[in-house]
Amino acid sequence: MTATATKPASDAVRSKPSAGPDRSAGRRRSSTIIVTSLLVVVALYFLIPVYWVFVASTKSTADLFSTNGFWFAPTFSLWENIGRVVSYDNGIFGRWFLNSAIYAGVGALLATYFAAAGGYALAKYEFRGRNLVFGTILGGVLVPGTATALPLFLLFSQMGLANTYWSVLLPSLVSPFGLFLCRIYAQATVDTSLIEAARIDGAGELRIFHTIGLKVLTPALVTVFLFQLVGIWNNYFLPLVMLSDSELYPITLGLNNWLSQVDRLPEFYELTTGGVLLSIIPLSIAMIVLQRFWRGGLTEGAVK
């Protein structure tokens, strides 16, 4: 209860205070215990697999099958395992990691910029064909990525783009949902009179977008960037269809490649669990740290 009692002070700073404190008045201790223990049980469900992979990657292959899966084996071989993951096949794991980082980082950054420019244009200019353009893009929000991946492969193979970095990067640069969000946000927040003032001062249209537009849109841009980053990082179908050269694989494809070999070589269990552990660390940290940024943007998408 003390924790919730201190909340109003910090919440008052925000524009939309959480409704929590207002309902806390008549709450009894028993309901706190029941609700919190339910939440703990569900948290166990979400966290135990992650805990298991950590425990598993501290074991040797023999211990992995002979000792209790939820507790550490007498010999702690985490660093050995990680060393093997990193050094296997001339450090191919590092290569996959870097590829994922390039696809997700570059893709999300450019996709956010393009979505911002497009969303801003659709929100702040009146021009012929605007509704047609917006309607078409909105339809794109509903088209799932896996539906376009196969025909995109046919298209890219004819253009000679299949099995290159571009084949994964180019589709990652488009975020119809991001544009949709940016348009809503630009309509609500970018002040038309500010744009007018900048025009009277003689600023060019593109300069106005880069100085005023991008600045005002920043909160929405963070959300779009995160969505796209996670989307590309998690993507599997597109790279699977596009890439045949394992040097170009992102981490998802690479680890699945290792998993498919466990039947023949049990040592791949160790490589795969170690690789899984290494691959979930960066994005898990990002999820927890950046969690508060997701909130604001998600509401924009959900409410309107």
User: Site residues for another protein, window 230-269 (CB under 8 A)?
Assistant: 230, 233-237, 241, 251-253, 255-256, 259-260, 262-263, 269
Binding residue (CB under 8 A) for another protein from 10, 75, 192, 218: 192
Question: Cα torsion at 281, 284, 288, 289 (round to 10°)?
Answer: 60
Tokens of 42: 């569900």
- Judged by CB under 8 A, the residue of 75, 125, 215, 265 near another protein is 125
The stretch among 72-80, 82-90, 91-99, 191-199 that binds another protein (CB under 8 A) is 191-199
Query: How far is it, in rounded angstroms, from Cα 35 to Cα 31?
Result: 6
Site for another protein in 27-86 (CB under 8 A): 27, 31-32, 34-36, 38-39, 42-43, 45-47, 49-50, 52-53, 56, 64-65, 68-70
Contact 120, 190 (CB under 8 A): yes
Please report how close the Cβ of residue 93 comes to another protein at its closest, in angstroms: 13
Q: How many Cα atoms sit within 13 Å of 110 on the Cβ side?
A: 13
**Angle at alpha carbon of residue 87, lines to 83 and 93, rounded to 5°:** 105
Q: Does 180 bind another protein (CB under 8 A)?
A: no
Closest to 23 (Cα-Cα) out of 37, 35, 38? 35
Q: Which long-range contacts (CB under 8 A, 24 or more apart) does 241-245 make?
A: 241/149, 241/150, 241/152, 241/153, 242/149, 242/152, 242/153, 242/156, 242/162, 242/163, 242/167, 242/168, 243/163, 243/167, 243/168, 244/163, 245/163
Among 108, 195, 212, 221, binds another protein (CB under 8 A): 195
Smallest distance from the beta carbon of 60 to another protein, in angstroms?
A: 14
Residue 140 binding another protein, by CB under 8 A: yes
In the list 108, 124, 224, 242, the residue contacting another protein (rule: CB under 8 A) is 124
User: What minimum distance in Å lies between the beta carbon of 78 and another protein?
Assistant: 17
Task: Please pick, from the candidates 82, 105, 280, 293, the single residue that binds another protein as defined by CB under 8 A.
Answer: 280
> Of 6, 10, 23, 83, which one interacts with another protein (CB under 8 A)?
23
Cβ(93)–Cβ(278) under 8 Å?
Answer: yes
Find the binder of another protein among 6, 130, 215, 247 (CB under 8 A): 130
Smallest distance, another protein to C-beta of residue 211, A? 14
How far apart are CB 83 and another protein at their closest, in Å? 21
By CB under 8 A, tell whether 291 contacts another protein. Answer: yes
Residue nearer to another protein on the CB measure, 28 or 79: 28
- For residue 296, the Cα-to-chain-centroid distance in whole angstroms is 16
Nearest residue (CB) to another protein, 89 versus 155: 155
Contact yes or no for 221/214 (Cβ under 8 A) = yes
Site for another protein in 91-120 (CB under 8 A): 114-115, 117-118, 120
Helices (H), the chain: 2-5, 7-11, 20-23, 29-56, 61-66, 78-124, 130-142, 145-159, 165-172, 176-189, 192-200, 205-208, 214-234, 237-242, 251-259, 267-303
Whichever of 9 and 200 has its CB closer to another protein, that residue is 200
Q: Residue 147 CB, nearest distance to another protein (Å)? A: 4
Min separation Cβ 295 and another protein, Å: 5
